[in-house]
Amino acid sequence: MIDDTRIGGASSKFPATRRSAILASCSDQREERKQGLDTIAAAYWKPVYQFIKMKWSQSTDDAKDLTQSFFTRAMEKEIFKDYRPEKGSFRTFIRTCVTHFVINESKYANRLKRGGDVTNVRLEDAQEPAGESLEEFFEKEWIRSLFSLAVDDLRALSVERKKSTYFALFERYDLERAGQSYSDLAQEYGIAVTDVTNYLAWCRREFRRLILERIRELTLDDAEFRREARLILGDRS
């Protein structure tokens, strides 16, 4: 785990720098709507893919095709307009939509098959991952995807701010867990131990902020944002 990940830092303030992609996906403006859908797809593509592959024992190619088809359908039908945060998290809403989509695709494929056409969509009995529910599995995949996007954000920010060494240290010490001490890293990079401490502190602070910004994009209101932020980062304050 990365040290010092209290939500919003010591003051526990929540960022509001990015607009909800859920709202943007429902916009009347085509470009804004597309940007919102792209943001949602970036965070949920891998979780949806893994969910389909696990739940219905789909091959890699079939799971990818179904995942792509789901997000294409979501854009065409504007399905995210139906989301209501008081009924559950957006994450649960997407999982439910995916389930309905795949089942409907299977029914359609079976009708084509009876008509003589060939189909690759074939659903086996639903599977549960060992030791956890499908809901827990989907949640973990979503968190993994979110952290991956935040790492990419931090890498880009480090390049922009000319702090590539900062990110290299963060990658080695916090992500790869190479087992090196601050002294080892200071010697390797030719900097002081206090620099290692300061560089890592900057990265951890920015990484937390970027995660929170991603969460802000993927929630609809403050209440949902706080629930998801505490789920992912915890609240040690």
Burial-class residue 223 by CB neighbours within 10 Å (0-12, 13-18, 19+): exposed
Q: Domain for residue 73, yes or no? A: yes
Q: How far apart are CA 186 and CA 189, in angstroms?
A: 5
Name residue, tokens 């979501």. 74
Q: How far apart are CA 23 and CA 81, in angstroms?
A: 8
Q: What is the pTM of this model?
A: 0.82
Q: Domain for residue 6, yes or no? A: no
Which pLDDT value is given to residue 94? 97
Residue 127 identity (one-letter amino acid): Q
Domain boundaries, position 202: 21-233
Q: Domain for residue 14, yes or no? A: no
Q: Domain for residue 5, yes or no? A: no
> For residue 148, what are its two tokens?
């991956």
CA distances to 50, 181, 231, 237 from 11, rounded to whole Å, are: 37, 29, 19, 9
Q: How far apart are CA 223 and CA 237, in angstroms?
A: 18
Which pLDDT value is given to residue 235? 54
Q: How far apart are CA 233 and CA 94, in angstroms?
A: 21
Q: How far apart are CA 55 and CA 124, in angstroms?
A: 9
- Provide the domain count of the chain: 1
Q: Domain for residue 9, yes or no? A: no
Q: Domain for residue 15, yes or no? A: no
Q: Domain for residue 192, yes or no? A: yes
Q: Domain for residue 211, yes or no? A: yes
> For residue 165, what are its two tokens?
């060494």
**Per-residue tens of pLDDT for the chain, all 237 residues:** 333 333 333 333 434 456 799 999 999 999 999 999 999 999 999 999 999 999 999 999 999 999 999 999 999 999 999 999 989 999 999 999 999 999 998 875 655 554 555 445 555 555 666 668 999 999 999 999 999 999 999 999 999 999 999 999 999 999 999 889 999 999 999 999 999 999 999 999 999 999 999 999 999 999 999 999 999 998 543
> For residue 58, what are its two tokens?
């789909």
Q: How far apart are CA 41 and CA 23, in angstroms?
A: 14
